[in-house]
Amino acid sequence: MIDKGDLSNLDHSVLAGEALVSALNRRFRTSVEDATVDAHTFSILKPANSDDLIREEDFVKDERLPYWADVWPSSLILAGKLLRLKGRGKTALELGCGVGLSTLAATTAGYDVLSTDYYEDALDVTRANVFRNLGKLARTRLVDWRHLPNDLGQFDLVFASDVLYEKEYAELLPEILDRLLVPSGAALIADPGRVAAPVFVEACVVQGLVVRQRETRPFEAGEIKQKIDLYEIGHR
């Protein structure tokens, strides 16, 4: 039997989710893209054109560009890996959730996920997509890697896709993983061969982390052909 409190919470979540989707459709020129990962097809609401989101003040501030607003090959490969995991009873954190595809996969696999990003808009889109596909509201938090909050806690799994495009982040990421992973935890980082990837691997060694596994998976979609490296990182 579902008690009245549970029904009230469910109604609140539905209303909040529907209101969020409506607000995003007013805020952006949106489109819906199906993302098929193995046997799952997720419906991704996203800005129709990421160029619409470019703001001069953001770029002047810290060269910020809206990379978050697209479904990238690395996120599709990472999502496939996440769907094959058993996350029930475990916690996870995504660094750079973008439009929420990998968060959707991890949540579907049973993880209790905290989705983080540098953009408020990305958090709203991720929350909307989790609601649209799974009928629940995602937990989200605005996080700047350069000023990592002290109260994030630790997680069984930390995951990210296509975040090694700058040396600064490649050097910083191992420190973040060391802080956020429980001693027996693992990180999954998907990368399409960005120039800073070797810097990241070297920085992991310096930080005392181990690359437990690196597998390379092909990605093809129309004219796009990439090889995605999937790194599994853990403590020694």
Residue 82 maps to which CATH number? 3.40.50.150
Residue 69 in this model has a pLDDT that exceeds 70: yes
Q: Is the pLDDT of residue 38 over 80?
A: yes
- What is the rounded distance in angstroms from the CA atom of residue 214 to the CA atom of residue 116? 24
Q: Which two tokens stand for residue 55?
A: 């703001």
CA distance 35 to 37: 6
Nearest by Cα to 83 from 31, 37, 28? 37
Q: Is the pLDDT of residue 50 over 80?
A: no
Give me the domain span that covers residue 195. Answer: 4-235
Q: Is the dihedral of CA 44, 49, 55, 60 positive or negative?
A: positive
Under the banding of pLDDT at 50, 70 and 90, the label for residue 107 is very high
Q: What is the mean pLDDT of residues 28-56?
A: 86
Q: What is the mean pLDDT of residues 187-196?
A: 96
Q: Above pLDDT 90, what percent of the chain?
A: 75
How does pLDDT run across 121-155, given as a tens digit for each residue? 999 999 999 999 999 989 999 999 989 999 999 99
Structurally, the chain folds into a number of domains equal to 1
Which residue in this structure is represented by tokens 């070297």?
Answer: 202
